[in-house]
Amino acid sequence: MPNARPSNPASNLDPAIAARLKRSADGLVPAIAQQYDTGEVLMLGWMDDEALHRTLTTGRCTYWSRSRREYWVKGDTSGHVQHVKSVALDCDADTVLVKVDQVGAACHTGDRTCFDAGDLPLSQ
């Protein structure tokens, strides 16, 4: 499976939090990054238990790259850092909402948000 994480990655995530998470078959949860003060939706990334632990304890968003099969801290190479303000689980505990203070672009294309490719037409 090309997007799979390493088997049994070590994690220091609080067991009480880990027990609440509902992960996909590959052990990941979607993580939505939102600008904390404006509500702007910036991007979607993926986290496993260790990425969530690192996000909660470092104050910087850490994601699991499904394509590169490695952890990455947002901004380490681009300088476009996400400073974590809060983290919440949704009602089903299968999605994480990370409210951040985004420095620079959130999207890998260099745009502020990944959700600026245009609205899709609605049929009514």
Read off the pLDDT of residues 60-109 as tens digits, 9 standing for 90 and up.
999 999 999 999 999 999 999 999 999 999 999 999 999 999 999 999 99
Where does 15-102 sit in CATH, by number? 3.10.20.810
DSSP 16-75: HHHHH----TTS-EEEEEEETTT--EEEEEEE-HHHHHHHHHHSB-EEEETTTTEEEETT
Question: Percent of the chain, pLDDT > 70?
Answer: 92
Per-domain residue ranges of the chain: 15-102
Closest alpha carbon to 26 in 83, 85, 55, 66: 66
pLDDT of 9: 61
pLDDT of 83: 98
